[in-house]
Structure 1
């Protein structure tokens, strides 16, 4: 790590994750999805497969991300739950105007429409407590990647740089499942955004 961050290297905020009803999405195999319904609530950190028709109704096979990555590692077919298509929303990336991000989130700013899953605005990791295990965007080679998890809280290196260690999400889930330590990256805190 260098001993300072050039302000010109600081990225603009990554995309907002906006939920789109699955019936309006195309090719959702492997997509991150949200499941739930108004009046009940919402579940995140899920993956979907292509919709199927069962008993004349459109349903979406859904599984936890941990099982999705297990199936990839073991080259097997994962067991899924079938949800009515109107209860499944696909997380899509939406442009994020930098001037609309305010790290000081007051309660009134956090209110959502309970009839649909929330739009998930990225937050600078420097403004979020308890980072371990959180899904994050990482600015690397002038682009954001969204398949990382934090594996440490912030720490100081060198001459005052603040960093966190991150791991690719597939390796993070493998670590939980098998105990195999992930390969981690030391990332400047200002290049990490919580999803």
Structure 2
């Protein structure tokens, strides 16, 4: 199966995420991934490392996103279970001509105003002036008002995870809620 990007029909919304088989990605190191199958269920919030081959079978070392960011930041060795490559699905952002019905369903981004709780969730920022998406953000607050405008405090995803292992509160950016989408 060939995964080819196609042009979007509408550029007012964030590009969707889709999942492709890990075997279709040349080097998935550091990419978001899901592990599992339709029959067994799915585990998300994972990052893949480069595949390895043992006794003729290919495996992908998988880390939780928390472990991935800590290992990268602090140059640590962390335990990474080996998952058979056929059970690893890599998240791609964009519009693609192919999809695989045996892979995980990829949710569409939802405007933050349509969600009850957003703190800790993955966020996409789409500024109206240029429409260029900013990903790898986390909401660090719920929606709040200042005057007649509504905002959300956001942080880079790496800083969000650093907060968990170090206690260091991340630098926050206040973004208008109308420009934010929950993944």
Give the direction of change, closer, same or farther, for the CA distance of 1:114–1:130 in structure 2 (3 Å limit).
farther
Q: 2:168 matched to 1:161? A: no
Q: 2:33 matched to 1:33? A: yes
* Structure with more helix by fraction: 1
Q: 2:86 matched to 1:121? A: no
Cα RMSD for the two superposed structures: 1.8
Q: TM-score, normalised by structure 1?
A: 0.81
Deviations 1:77-110 (A, max 9, x none): 33211000000000001239xxxxxxxxxxxxxx
Q: Does the Cα contact within 8 Å between 1:61 and 1:80 map onto a contact in 2?
A: yes
Deviation at 1:36, TM superposition (A): 0.5
Gaps of 5+ in 1: 1-10, 97-112
Alignment of 1:64-143 (within 5 A): 64-95=64-95, 115-140=102-127, 142-143=131-132
Q: Does the Cα contact within 8 Å between 1:36 and 1:42 map onto a contact in 2?
A: yes
Distance 1:89 1:31 in 2: 10
Q: Does the Cα contact within 8 Å between 1:48 and 1:63 map onto a contact in 2?
A: yes
The count of aligned residue pairs is: 168
Corresponding residue of 1:6: none
Deviation at 1:167, TM superposition (A): 0.7
Corresponding residue of 2:140: 151
Corresponding residue of 1:105: none
